[in-house]
């Protein structure tokens, strides 16, 4: 039960975290699940992400391309989890300085809890083709964003 489902927020080319990442992409999957659970667990930037990919014209060339979707958001969450794990393993916890505490190998449930409880609430949903904000309300812990954008 340590699996996270990831939704995709908007982002813009060349941005780190700008205002666009405060909006869920309208293309992102949402809950609830068939048994009533709230999903996704967390959200991460998943639009205008530069990713490695094979050339779409089948020429055999490889390179980078701008992509979007939850398949782009999931690696953002994985990278964030890796940084959080490193923070504990290198002994930065509890004071924020390296080796101030005993190194800890965090468990899966702890990693999941940190990712979920550090989320930032999104403010709305944005149409990815027009860029317009949709009149769909989002609230913390709803079936659009659940715990919010990983931070």
CA angle 45, 144, 34 (to 5 degrees): 125
Residue 111 is predicted with a pLDDT of 96
Distances (CA, A) of 34 to 5, 76, 83: 15, 26, 33
Q: Both tokens of residue 47?
A: 């639009």
Torsion over CA of 43, 136, 20 and 63, rounded to 10 degrees? 60
Residue 61, SS3 per DSSP:
coil
What is the model's pLDDT at position 21? 80
> In a 3-state reduction of DSSP, which class is residue 146?
coil
CATH superfamily of 6-134: Peptidase S8/S53 domain (3.40.50.200)
Does residue 92 contact residue 103 with C-beta atoms inside 8 Å?
no
pLDDT at 20: 72
- In tens, the pLDDT along 56-105 reads 666 666 788 888 899 999 999 999 999 999 999 999 999 999 888 889 99
Question: Rounded CA gap, 89 and 96, in Å?
Answer: 12
> Using one digit for the tens of pLDDT, what is the confidence trace for 21-42?
888 988 898 999 999 999 999 9
Instruction: Note the pLDDT tens digit of each residue in 45-65.
Output: 998 888 887 766 666 667 888
What is the average pLDDT value for the chain, to the nearest integer? 87
The radius of gyration of the chain from alpha carbons, rounded to an integer in Å, stands at 17
Q: What is d(CA 60, CA 119) in angstroms, rounded to the nearest whole number? A: 40
């Amino acid at each position: 039960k340590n699996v996270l489902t990831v939704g995709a927020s908007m982002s813009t080319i060349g941005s780190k975290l700008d205002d666009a990442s405060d909006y869920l992409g309208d293309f992102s999957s949402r809950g609830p699940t068939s048994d009533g659970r709230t999903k996704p667990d967390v959200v991460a930037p998943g639009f205008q992400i530069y990713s490695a990919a094979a050339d779409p014209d089948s020429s055999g060339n490889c390179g980078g391309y701008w992509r979007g979707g939850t398949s782009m958001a999931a690696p953002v969450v994985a990278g964030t989890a890796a940084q959080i794990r490193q923070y504990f393993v290198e002994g930065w916890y509890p004071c924020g300085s390296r080796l101030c505490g005993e190194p800890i190998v965090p468990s899966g449930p702890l990693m999941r809890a940190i990712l979920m409880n550090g989320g930032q609430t999104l403010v709305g949903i944005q149409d990815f083709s027009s860029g317009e904000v949709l009149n769909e309300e989002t609230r913390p812990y709803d079936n659009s964003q659940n715990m919010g954008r990983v931070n």
